[in-house]
Amino acid sequence: MKLFNKLAGAGTAEVLKEGTKLIDEIFTTQEEKLQGKMELFKMAVTDRDSARNMYSNDSWLQKTFAIFFLLAWIGLTILMLEYFVFRNIHLDDWQIAFVSSINGGISTKLSTIIDFLFGGAISGVNNVNLKSKRKA
């Protein structure tokens, strides 16, 4: 059940963006549109609070993975700096390709961890425009 909740919550920001577009199409008066968008925003806040409660206690495995990927990225970045900038070490072409591809993969994973920890996905929800253009 928890896995389903995690998967369902992953697309919340996108659903809310599409929901605001749908509200603009369905409702005709400005008051109805504003009320609908306010309800969507309340849902987003409730969802965010429930996600914070769900992840308030991190397991040791989550912390270990985050630290491992950070340390691996730092180590590979230092290795690449030693080769490309300081010219202190010699690597064959296949070693350069191997280190670069692993560093790229770890950078992607590290970006995902940072987005999760610091709320990168919620930025789409914060861009919901609650003020509609008024016709004069």
Residue 132 is assigned to a structural domain of this protein: no
User: What residues make up the domain containing 6?
Assistant: 2-126
What is the average pLDDT across 37-48? 80
Residue 109 is assigned to a structural domain of this protein: yes
**Per-residue pLDDT for 44 more than 60?**
yes
Per-residue model confidence as pLDDT tens digits over 32-41: 888 888 888 8
Q: Cα–Cα distances in Å, from 78 out to 25, 26, 87, 123, 133?
A: 53, 55, 12, 32, 52
Residue 73 is assigned to a structural domain of this protein: yes
Number of domains in the chain: 1
| Dmax (CA) of the chain | 70
d(CA 107, CA 112): 9
pTM for the complete prediction? 0.46
Residue 100 is assigned to a structural domain of this protein: yes
